[in-house]
Each structure stands twice: as C-alpha cells, then as structure tokens.
Structure 1
Amino acid sequence: MILFTGSLCNNIYTESILNSPLQPVSREQIQKLEATFQASIIVLAGRHYNECIYAVITPNSSDVDLDGIAKNIYSLHNNNEEPLNMVISNTCTDGRELYSIRQEAYLYALFHIRFGCSRIFHIQSETDTNIAPSPEIKQICSNLGEYIKRQKISDCLRSMTGFWNKNEVTQFQLITDLHYFFNTLEQLPIQSHGQLISNIDEIIGSCQTYSDLEKTILDEVNQYLGYADDFARRNQQTLAKQVKEWLDENFTTQITYKIFQNLFNLNEKYISTLFKAEYNITPSRYVGELRLNMAKNLMQNNPEIRVKDVAELVGFTDYFYFSRVFKSHEGVTPSQYIKSISTTDSAPKTK
C-alpha cells in the first residue's frame, strides 16, 4: 500500500527536495498494528518525497484484514491539512514481483487520484492511459480570442478550475487540460514577456487546492503577458533577490515552503512564482542544486568522508532520501561517486 500526501508528481526528486512532509509511522505504532492484525509490516523506500510505502507480509494460508491495516495507517497519517490518498496494490507471492506491483500502483495512482481529494482505494482494473483534453476545457479556451485582456484570462481560469472542482477530475486529466490551455495561449498572436510554465507537474505539486492552483497559474500567465507594471515588477525582483540571498546563506538548514511565509509574510506559492520568473528555477530546485553541488565538493575534497555525514552537512536529515535524490540527479549513488573519485586519484599518472 502506497500513501501520498498532496499531489503525485513524476520525478519529484528532481523537482523538489525540500524537507519531506510525510514521514513513516513510528516503529512502536507498527508493532501495535502487527500484534493486532497478526501480520508483518515493512516500510519500503519510495520514488517521491511525499509518499510512504508499506508492505504487508503474511503466510500464504492466512487471511489478513488489509482494509483494516490500511485504515489504521491512514488515520495515523491524516492531519486534515493536506489531501491524503492511499493505493492498496494487488498481492503477490514472490518478492521478485514487488517492483512490477509497485509500478502498477504508481500508474494507477496517477490516473485515479483526484486533485484536492482524499481517499483509500484498491487497484481494480487496468488503467486506461488514453486521456484527451476535456471538451469543456477546449470550449473555454476557444473563448480566449485574439486579443487577450487580463480579466479574460482570469475569467477563463476561474471557469476551468470551477469545472475541474465540480467534476473532481483526476490529476492526470488536470495535467492534460493544462497542457492544452498553455499550448492554446502560446499559439495566440500576442507579444510575450518571458517563458510559460515549463513543468506543469511542478506547479500542481506546489498546490493543494483549486484556489491555490488558479492563483499560481494566473501569476505565471500575467508574468508571461507582461501585465505587471514597472513598479510592481521592481518590487517583485527585489523580493526574489531577497529570497535568493536568504537561500544562499541558509540552504543547509531545514527548509520548508512555510518558512517563506514566516520570513516574508507572503504566500509561499506567490514567492515561488516570483523566484522562478526572475531566475528561471523554483526555490526548491535551487536549494537542491546548492546542496548537491556542496555534496559533490565535500566528496571530491574528502574521499574518506562518510555519505551519512555528507547528507547531514548539506541539509538532509534522511541519509536514504539523500542517496535517492543524488542518484536521480547524477546517475550514480553517493558511494559510487566517492569510489569513482578514489579510483581516479589512485590511477597511475602518465608522463
């Protein structure tokens, strides 16, 4: 069973490596569940920073109350602050099937998790991956016209989010519809003032509600169309610079998006949008680059250093999470990276 908080995003290790909002339940809690349900429960490493994976192991001949275990684990995680979804995968009798079972669960989650909603569900059938833009969204986008006004964009986004919210669309349908909206916008004969969103997954992953999503996209589009006046733009550039300077000095500390709200008294998503508009990178990805660059420098200059120490020095509290992030970016684990440095240094020099 895989538990997700917030939105499920592809390759989220490469998009956002701020502190994980979802931590496994404690060993003591797992032991209580094991005693209650007479089953072994193991926590497995996942692919996303906002997920936890639990494997339930029982003898072939025993029946286990999977729904009961799932509901208990779900309730231990549920704080009612963010959407929480749990996918209960198919069972297997061979550990070698775990990888394919997990991939099937990821795919099912992507095509069945509804944005902003919370629930527990079983994998029931094969997933239909043939998803097209919603006819309603295509109709709304057709009203953008050749001459875009700020209010027209706002009305368009409000109509789209209203449709998505009413119909509780899946996250993948939301991604598909947003791609259609941005493609329509880019094809209009207008003068742009920058780039549109390059990664829709990233935007969806930073939003928990349709209200958040509407405001975030509107800010991005206004930047693209150059609707911010010169005074406002200078203020935005100053704020983005302040955020960057703070991150440069504090990237090894424990950072969450809520820190931005506390420091600058502004919505963290608004700050993230301004930062990306100014530097073409989100704050989370920028922190990630700073941390990984520092990690590589530490390993290059100290080949005997322990990977666990590197993780702590650059700002990661979880060694395994750091290793997965590093491999996602560099293609090798930190241990392999250190070994390659040591091998290079010990190679005989040619004259």
Structure 2
Amino acid sequence: MNTKYKYKVFIVDDEPISIQLISNIIKMYCPEIEIVGSADNVLKCLEKLKTCEADILISDIRMPGLSGIDLISKVKQLYPDILNIFVSGYREFEYAKAAMKLDVEDYLLKPIVPSELKKTIHKVEEKLDILFQKKRTAILYEREQLENDNLEKYFPHEKYYVAIIRKNGLPKRFIGKIQDSIFKNKYNMVMNGRDVMESFYLVPEEVVSNGNIRQIMKNTYIRESQNAGYTTMILSKNPYYARELGNIYRTLCKMLDFYLVIGKSQILYLEDCEDSVQNTLSIRGEVSKLEWLLENKKIEQAKAEIICLGNKFRNADVTQRETEKAINLILVLMNQHVDEFSWNIQNEVAMDEILCGATNINDIFMELSNLLNHAELKNKEEKLDSSEFIQKVKEYIVNHLSEDLSLKNTSKKFGISQTYLGQLFNKYQKVSFSNYVIEMRIQRAKELLDNDKEILIKDVAKSVGYQDQFYFSRVFRSMTGITPTDYINKGEN
C-alpha cells in the first residue's frame, strides 16, 4: 500500500498531441501527480469520470460540440471536490473570462510552457492539501461519513496506533474553537485536538516494530513536554482500522477528561484506562469545615483551610474534573457567606483560564484563598478597572514575548490576582489573556519572517516564547492556516 496518496489528474482536449504534451510535462516535472485518464470530448470525459477518480481536471476550452466551459459547469455539479484548470489558444480570451467566473484554478495559454504548468500544478496541490486536511478532520470528528473504499484516499494505511497528548489542564470551556489542522511528519499524522495545547497522533501499524508504540511516542512526549508544567499522554496498545478512528478520537478525549490530574505528568494506555478506577474524595465532606468557617466569618482560618484542601487534593491525585467540582462548591459557599464577594460570568471565564494554564493544584487553591481578600482589595482593584491599565499590561506583553507570559506570572508582576486580571482582559479586550498572548506572538513571528527570509524557524520560535519549534509551527498554522515554511515561501512568490 502506498504511504502517500498521489493526487490524480484527468486531461481533456480534442487534439491528441496536446494531451500527450501535457502528460509528458506532468510526468517530467510533477512526478508526484498520477495521470488517471484522458478524453477528446466532453461526453467521453463525463462518462470516464464515473469510474475514474480525479482530483484535478485539465481541459481545453474550445472543443467540437460541448465546450470546456460546459464541461466544468457540469463537473462542479457532479464532482465539487475536483479542482479545474483551463488551457486555450490566444484568440479565445472571452472564453477565459467566462472560465474565471466558474472559479477555475488557472487559465494557461497554448502552447503550454512547462514551467507555467508546473507552477500551476503545485499551486493546486497546495489547495488540495488544505482540502484534504479539512476532510480528514471532518472524518475524525465524524462531521462526514465515507465508504471504506474512499477512506484510503485520506488515510492511506490500513491500521493506526493512536495517541493524544495534552499540555497542562483541560480545554477552556469559554474559548472558541481553534482552526482544525492536520499535517504530516516522517511517520505519522498529527492533528490539533480541541485546542493547540492538545495533539492527536496517528502512527501507521507498519512503522511500529513489535507493537512498541510507547517507545516511538516517547521522544514525542518529551518534546511536547517542553514549556509545559505537566503533560498527559494516552496511547493505544493496539492498532485500529481507519473506519474506527472517529470513535477512538472521541474515546481518547473522554479518557483524557476523566484521568487528567492537575500538576501530574502521566503516560497511560487507552485499554487500561477503560478498566481502571480514578481516585476520588467526598467533596461535600472535605469542605464541611471550610463551610463552617465561612458561616462564622473566620476568614483567615478559612483561607488557611483552602490551602490545606489544595494539599489534600494534590496528595490524593484527584482529577481535574473532580477538582473543578470542589472549586465550584467552594465558590458557591464563598458567595453565600462572604460579604462583598460576588461571582459572575466574567469571574467564571477567568477561573476557567486559570484551570487550563495552572501547572500545579496548589496555585489554584492559593488563588481561591486570595479571593477572600476581595473586600480588602476591592478599592485597589477598582482603580485598575480601566482601559489605561489594560494598555499597560498589553505593552508589557508585547515587550516580553520571549519570556514566560503565563497569567500567573503576569498578574504577580502587576500585583493583581489572576482571576481579576483575566476578568479585566475579557472585559476590555473581548478575548482571553492567553489567546491575546498567542495572537501577539504569532504577529511578531510573522514580522520576523517578513523582515528576514534567511532566519531559522527555531530562532523565530524562541524569539516569541516557544522553545519547541514543532509546537510553534502547530500554533502558527492554527492561527494563520499555513505553516511558517509555507508563509515564507508564499512571501517569496
């Protein structure tokens, strides 16, 4: 079985010599393209396309009987995924204008210049790559169903081992979906998970010797762990058929949600997770003492008790989902019993970001403890509730893009709680703190790539705060739609 799908081209021209010329150019200059057929008129082409799968159609415009324009109009109805290229003589410019209205990929004049056809084919390949990425993602998310025969086009191997790797906490609930992205390295396919902190790997069965997927993924796990407080990986012991990948992806996400422990790096097997039992605490029982302290306004003791709860949760390896339940209950109790304390959706968004970015559970419970200072700090924080203050924070971010710009470190720099800084950022910028940092980093990266075509991508990554070049490339692609390398090449064209 081929390890890489070859894009397929079909050629239509009433002149056999033209078909031969185009075929020879493709074979010589675009060997990665497969010629799957040809026809000398529109009706023959439509008949052959019923059984001949094509990704690219190259057609003359003017032919006896139905024209190339008639052909493309019909092809767009019957085979909307096919990308079309027109070729024609100098005297048929009006045909060319009509062709442009059909949204064809390019229009080439006869006699065909090899370099021009090569350039056009490569441009169409890039567009097909993007379309294939979207299709693979749709299949994995089960937004689209395909017959088994068509799966090979998008997943060329029969079986895959799978793995999901998550940096830090679970995805934020209040942040919009980041653009889907699938791309390949030497052995496998990698897809952004629910955000750029999560990766989904597909490793072909034939590259895994003796079924040792853990050994293959070990270096990947180490690399993904760079710049992360902790990392969780769940991988399969067994390979799965391509038709099963959608279900397996969703199962991995559920298992990750079920087993991720804040601050604890883990490597788990999917098959083991399905049979194991997670550690839990009686949340209501654990917070009963805190509830009594809050009811009786013993604020300092309550703050200390929250810290103790954090230690207890850490020592018991309580999962993030269980920890969130405890945090929500604590916030409810604080809202009920503490004067001057109120909890709203902006606070909820801010706490959501803290949970996602926290590198250990003690930081989260320390933040909860600090919230009890709300009444004491209220006047100070109200002075910071201004666009001028947020502008200062933004300037700090832009001037320190190569440094650790976590919400925790930045809030400490400005003497403000993480929750309140996150709340202010959402209020004035209409975007989360972490997403703003990503936007600024990618904007700076684009500027560096624009100004120096010889700069190494790894140097750009470090300049904007990413020690892992591979992770930087994934974030860059999620934000821009293309890789840093493609961005450079696009600028040179």
Shorter-chain TM-score range: 0.5 to 0.7
Aligned partner letter, 2:302: I
Residue 50 (structure 1) aligns with: 197
Per the TM alignment, residue 45 of structure 1 is displaced from its structure 2 partner at its CA by: 2.5
Per the TM alignment, residue 320 of structure 1 is displaced from its structure 2 partner at its CA by: 4.3
State the structure with more CA Rg: 2
Deviates more, 1:179-188 or 1:160-169: 179-188
Per the TM alignment, residue 12 of structure 1 is displaced from its structure 2 partner at its CA by: 6.7
Query: What CA RMSD, in Å, does the superposition of the two structures yield over aligned residues?
Result: 4.4
State the distance in 2 between where 1:49 and 1:165 align.
26
Q: After the TM superposition, which residues 179-194 of structure 1 pair with which residues of structure 2 at under 5 Å, given as runs?
A: 179-188=328-337, 190-194=338-342
Which one scores higher on RCO, CA 8 angstroms, separation ≥ 6?
1
Q: Is the 8 A contact 1:132 1:176 kept in 2?
A: no
Per the TM alignment, residue 181 of structure 1 is displaced from its structure 2 partner at its CA by: 1.4
Which of 233, 255, 259 matches 1:108? 255
Residue 165 (structure 2) aligns with: 3
Deviates more, 1:267-276 or 1:205-214: 267-276
1:173 partnered with 2:347: no
Aligned partner letter, 2:358: C
> Normalization by structure 2: what TM-score?
0.46
Q: Is the 8 A contact 1:261 1:267 kept in 2?
A: no
Per the TM alignment, residue 11 of structure 1 is displaced from its structure 2 partner at its CA by: 3.9
Deviates more, 1:191-200 or 1:211-220: 191-200
Between the two proteins, the alignment pairs up a number of residues equal to: 278
Q: After the TM superposition, which residues 1-351 of structure 1 pair with which residues of structure 2 at under 5 Å, given as runs?
A: 1-11=163-173, 13-14=175-176, 31=186, 40-59=187-206, 63-79=210-226, 82-89=229-236, 91=238, 93-123=240-270, 124=272, 125=274, 134-188=283-337, 190-195=338-343, 197-199=347-349, 200-223=351-374, 226-228=375-377, 230=379, 232-233=380-381, 237=384, 241-246=387-392, 258-259=404-405, 266-267=412-413, 270=416, 272-278=418-424, 281=427, 285=432, 318=475, 320-322=477-479
Deviates more, 1:1-10 or 1:127-136: 127-136
Percent identity among equivalent residues?
A: 15
Q: Kindly tell me: are residues 66 and 74 of structure 1, through their superposed partners in 2, closer, same or farther at Cα, counting changes over 3 Å?
A: same
Per the TM alignment, residue 78 of structure 1 is displaced from its structure 2 partner at its CA by: 3.1
State the distance in 1 between where 2:200 and 2:414 align.
28
Aligned partner letter, 1:266: K
Per the TM alignment, residue 101 of structure 1 is displaced from its structure 2 partner at its CA by: 0.7
State the distance in 1 between where 2:203 and 2:436 align.
36
Q: Give per-residue Cα distances to partners, 1:10-48, cap 9 Å, x unaligned.
A: 447439x8xxxxxx9x98xx54xxxxxxxx322123212
Deviates more, 1:248-257 or 1:117-126: 248-257
Instruction: Name the SS for the 1:7 alignment partner.
Output: coil
Residue 310 (structure 1) aligns with: none
Aligned partner letter, 1:113: L
Q: Kindly tell me: are residues 185 and 4 of structure 1, through their superposed partners in 2, closer, same or farther at Cα, counting changes over 3 Å?
A: same
Aligned partner letter, 2:377: A
Per the TM alignment, residue 210 of structure 1 is displaced from its structure 2 partner at its CA by: 2.8
Q: Kindly tell me: are residues 259 and 109 of structure 1, through their superposed partners in 2, closer, same or farther at Cα, counting changes over 3 Å?
A: closer
State the distance in 2 between where 1:98 and 1:268 align.
46
Q: Kindly tell me: are residues 212 and 263 of structure 1, through their superposed partners in 2, closer, same or farther at Cα, counting changes over 3 Å?
A: closer
Q: Is the 8 A contact 1:4 1:52 kept in 2?
A: yes
State the distance in 2 between where 1:263 and 1:5 align.
18
Per the TM alignment, residue 68 of structure 1 is displaced from its structure 2 partner at its CA by: 0.8
State the distance in 2 between where 1:281 and 1:127 align.
42
Residue 22 (structure 2) aligns with: none
Per the TM alignment, residue 227 of structure 1 is displaced from its structure 2 partner at its CA by: 2.3
Q: Kindly tell me: are residues 170 and 263 of structure 1, through their superposed partners in 2, closer, same or farther at Cα, counting changes over 3 Å?
A: closer
Q: Is the 8 A contact 2:235 2:269 kept in 1?
A: yes
Unpaired runs of 5+ residues, structure 1, are 18-23, 32-39, 293-314, 325-351
Per the TM alignment, residue 72 of structure 1 is displaced from its structure 2 partner at its CA by: 2.3
Aligned partner letter, 1:237: L
Q: Kindly tell me: are residues 250 and 100 of structure 1, through their superposed partners in 2, closer, same or farther at Cα, counting changes over 3 Å?
A: farther
> Normalization by structure 1: what TM-score?
0.63
Q: Give per-residue Cα distances to partners, 1:268-319, cap 9 Å, x unaligned.
A: 8945433245466497526858999xxxxxxxxxxxxxxxxxxxxxx99756
Per the TM alignment, residue 108 of structure 1 is displaced from its structure 2 partner at its CA by: 0.7
Q: Kindly tell me: are residues 88 and 172 of structure 1, through their superposed partners in 2, closer, same or farther at Cα, counting changes over 3 Å?
A: same
Q: Kindly tell me: are residues 81 and 93 of structure 1, through their superposed partners in 2, closer, same or farther at Cα, counting changes over 3 Å?
A: closer
Q: Give per-residue Cα distances to partners, 1:234-283, cap 9 Å, x unaligned.
A: 5x617x64452146679999958834799979348945433245466497
Per the TM alignment, residue 171 of structure 1 is displaced from its structure 2 partner at its CA by: 0.9
Per the TM alignment, residue 117 of structure 1 is displaced from its structure 2 partner at its CA by: 0.5
Deviates more, 1:46-55 or 1:129-138: 129-138
Q: Give per-residue Cα distances to partners, 1:210-236, cap 9 Å, x unaligned.
A: 33212322233432xx22263x335x6
Aligned partner letter, 2:171: C
State the distance in 1 between where 2:298 and 2:387 align.
29
Q: Is the 8 A contact 1:83 1:116 kept in 2?
A: yes
Instruction: Name the SS for the 1:143 alignment partner.
Output: helix
Instruction: Name the SS for the 1:213 alignment partner.
Output: helix
